[in-house]
Structure 1
Amino acid sequence: MPKFLHTADWQMGRTYSRFDTENGSALVEARYETIERLAALAAEQQCDAVLVAGDVFDAQTVSDRTIRRVFNATRGFTGPWVMLPGNHDAALAESVWTRAKRLNAIPENIHIALEPGVISLPEQGIAVLAAPLTQRHTYGDLTQPFDDMQTAPGLLRIGLGHGSVQGVLPDEIDASNPIAPNRADIAKLDYLALGDWHGVKEINPRTWYSGTHEPERFRNNDAGYVLIVDIAQPGAMPEVTQRETARYQWHQWREHLSVPSDLDKLLNRITQLPEASVLDLKLNGTLTLAGDRKLTDVLSVAEARYRSVTFDRTGLQLEPTEDDISALHADGYLGEVVQELRERQQPTHADSDAGVARDALAILAGLLTPNDTEVAK
């Protein structure tokens, strides 16, 4: 029973400019670690081959060091690998692949599909029909030649492509590199391994996107997995198993707060995240001063605990309760300032700058609220 691992969209060499240097570097390193993890998984599962369906590299201009590190990371699986150029690392006349060859960086067990055709792996019982991109964008279906490609009897016919299955993915994805949704049937493929969509997605029982091995953006599309594919014999239906490889989980939350229970639920969710989390939080609504202090404390702890925490509180409006005001002991002039800042958060205020007013009110509340040490004295 031939078995192989299907992965894609590594995009090695990408950077994370939206993050600070420390976090960006950690996210880059995670992508190498995850290649090592999937190589070890392929060995553990006794896979016959690993198929990488395009975009191994993020750009043609990645450094020589990146090229060498990528191939070094594959050493945990000594069986055959087949790597397909995608739109980010297309098989141009001069490309990242030709540079890798000049560097002598490509191990003997790794096959690079620089031209359309069949890569036969008879010992593994697999014939890989490859459709590499030779330019970044095409407007014809590069998998169409699969229909006429001949393979040896007894070998699985496994297609390897990179592009957009038409009529299935979002419209904005369908602009280039089209792939017919029924290609596996027309070309009599046992399985069509695809890349370009960065999450796991089943098109039909014989056609799958594996997604990227390590999430790199805030999108809830099942990124961070590889697929283990078992096919008993030519013509048999594939058994596809999704296996997690991700080092980090990415979460993007957009929350509206209106009552205290909303805040309590949010804080509980934050504290329950695994440490290997990347969190992007944007809040709007209203918050009491006591609630604002609780939120600040939890976010402070989260910033130290998780890989990265970014948050936007500009949509929050502070609405002190009577208890809040009483706790501040803001009488006389200070009471008038608190009231003025409350009013300036309203969008109807003539000179409204809600963000500045909210921040000023939070700072003033922090200054007026006695801390535990002062109370003890």
Structure 2
Amino acid sequence: MTVPLFDLPGFDPDQTQPNRSRPAAAGAGRLESPGSVAGSAHEVTFLHTADWQLGMTRRHLDADAAHAYTAARHEAVERIGTLAAEVDAEFVVVSGDVFEDHRVSSKIIRRTLDALGAYGIPVYLLPGNHDPFDAAGIYRSRTFAQACPDNVTVLSGAGVHQVRAGVELIAAPWSHKQPGTDLVAAQVARLAPADAIRVMVGHGGVDALTPGGDEALIGLAAVEAAVDGGLLDYVALGDRHSVTSVGTTGRVWYPGAHEVTNFDHIEQEPGHVLAVTLRRSGSSRDVDVVPHRVGQWSFQTVSADIAGLADIEALRRRLDDIDDKPRVVLGLRLVGSVSVTEGAALDELLEEAADRFASVTRPDGAEDLVVVADDGDLADLGVGGYVREAAEELFDRSGSTDLDEARNARDALALLHRLTGRIR
């Protein structure tokens, strides 16, 4: 049986001998089962994770926030090792996209491999579309070869990789960025019946979730048929950044990214790792899948209609209620119409938020919120003399047909409101 913690919709130079510190060789011919133990009971617990994309940057983060975000992504990798010990996992499998691309720094590669070495159990890395096993790829680099610990295996060769007697991984790695075919289906077609517990490790979109006719999409029907027929016990996928159970078997999963990479209207459940327990005894097969949160950051979208000071204060209260602000990237979607006075109050709120949150961004742009100067803006200033004359001129220009001139005049009026507000 599958035991999720929450309800999740199913929708976004070759080596000839495998070595844990080297890329593993491809299988040949029909996939036999060297680890089969006829008539015996098998059970295994492991961690399934994917899409670390270490080296990823986010353009809306300033230098300080970007540094903290990068550190958090590495710390999440370390927490996966801690979780593995807590759940008594035998191994960890990363289903593709360990690294953002082949241009990541040697520092990122070495720090990652140091963290994986500290796990103390086998770690299996599948090349994905961001880090394929090609000639220019990370996994063939001198830095990776020198730094890779003995407990790390790159699943560079398609086919069977024995974890231990009775437990096997069936790998479908990416050898380049445009495979043009269903890599998982190619391995499923070669499977022969076996007693061993089998975990398919693949990367990419599933045709049932992704529209279009991309030939590289993973065909769900063939995968589920293999699961139902006992050829596979679990399908460990990567590519989707939200933890997702696919299909009806409860045995096909995306773990999602280990740390958030996009806003919550795009990624519903990021920052998780799956603890998977598989049991097989004769014709009896069981599966338990439990998501564990390892990520700490969130990208939260806040939408609000703003029509006056009351709405601005309501927005302030909403932002105040958000926890752990230094690790929250805030995406504000504001619509409505405000006066210059109200716009100045809103600007002050947004400046405060920029100091409190990791980042504040306006995904849809500021033009969704219209600032319109009215007679009350002049009255609210409470100034006279030359300042009053300047304010009146700005007020007149705020209604100009020249959009840039009108915007600049409103901005100047808003600044004047804020300056005089501090004086009074």
Matched with 1:73 is 115
The amino acid of 1:196's aligned partner reads: D
Q: Secondary structure at the match of 1:10?
A: coil
Closer, same or farther: CA 18–224 of 1 in aligned 2, 3 Å: same
The amino acid of 2:98's aligned partner reads: V
Matched with 2:153 is 111
> Could you tell me how far 1:343 is from its partner in structure 2?
6.3
> Could you tell me how far 1:254 is from its partner in structure 2?
4.8
Task: Report if the CA contact (8 A) 2:373-2:398 is conserved.
Answer: no
Matched with 1:245 is 294
Matched with 1:169 is 210
In the superposition, the TM-score normalised over structure 1's length comes to: 0.86
Task: Report if the CA contact (8 A) 1:184-1:191 is conserved.
Answer: no
Q: Residue 225 in 1 paired to residue 285 in 2?
A: no
Identity of aligned residues (%): 32
Give RMSD over aligned pairs: 2.7
Matched with 2:313 is 264
Q: Secondary structure at the match of 1:238?
A: strand
1:53-68 matches, within 5 Å, as 53-68=95-110
**Equivalent-residue separation in structure 2 for 1:293 and 1:112 (angstroms):** 56
In the superposition, the TM-score normalised over structure 2's length comes to: 0.77
Q: Residue 295 in 1 paired to residue 346 in 2?
A: yes
Aligned partner of 1:317 among 359, 364, 370: 370
Q: Residue 216 in 1 paired to residue 261 in 2?
A: yes
Q: Residue 179 in 1 paired to residue 218 in 2?
A: yes
Q: Secondary structure at the match of 2:351?
A: helix
**Equivalent-residue separation in structure 2 for 1:317 and 1:183 (angstroms):** 53
Closer, same or farther: CA 252–127 of 1 in aligned 2, 3 Å: same
**Equivalent-residue separation in structure 1 for 2:384 and 2:143 (angstroms):** 76
Closer, same or farther: CA 350–290 of 1 in aligned 2, 3 Å: closer
Matched with 2:94 is 52
Matched with 1:141 is 182
Matched with 1:6 is 48
**Equivalent-residue separation in structure 1 for 2:396 and 2:302 (angstroms):** 28
Task: Report if the CA contact (8 A) 1:68-1:105 is conserved.
Answer: yes
Task: Report if the CA contact (8 A) 1:184-1:190 is conserved.
Answer: no
> Could you tell me how far 1:96 is from its partner in structure 2?
0.9
Deviations, residues 273-301 of structure 1 (Å, cap 9, x unaligned): 22211123243322245543443333333
Matched with 2:380 is 327
Q: Secondary structure at the match of 2:380?
A: helix
The amino acid of 1:367's aligned partner reads: L
The amino acid of 1:316's aligned partner reads: L
Closer, same or farther: CA 307–128 of 1 in aligned 2, 3 Å: same
Q: Residue 236 in 1 paired to residue 236 in 2?
A: no
The amino acid of 2:224's aligned partner reads: D
Task: Report if the CA contact (8 A) 2:398-2:410 is conserved.
Answer: yes
Closer, same or farther: CA 74–265 of 1 in aligned 2, 3 Å: farther
> Could you tell me how far 1:194 is from its partner in structure 2?
0.6
Task: Report if the CA contact (8 A) 1:118-1:151 is conserved.
Answer: no
Deviations, residues 112-147 of structure 1 (Å, cap 9, x unaligned): 111101111226x52111100111012211112223
Gap regions ≥5 residues in structure 2: 1-42
Closer, same or farther: CA 260–169 of 1 in aligned 2, 3 Å: farther
Q: Secondary structure at the match of 2:82?
A: helix
Higher relative contact order (CA 8 A, sep 6+): 2
Count of residues in correspondence between the two structures: 366
**Equivalent-residue separation in structure 2 for 1:300 and 1:238 (angstroms):** 50
**Equivalent-residue separation in structure 1 for 2:267 and 2:392 (angstroms):** 42
Gap regions ≥5 residues in structure 1: none
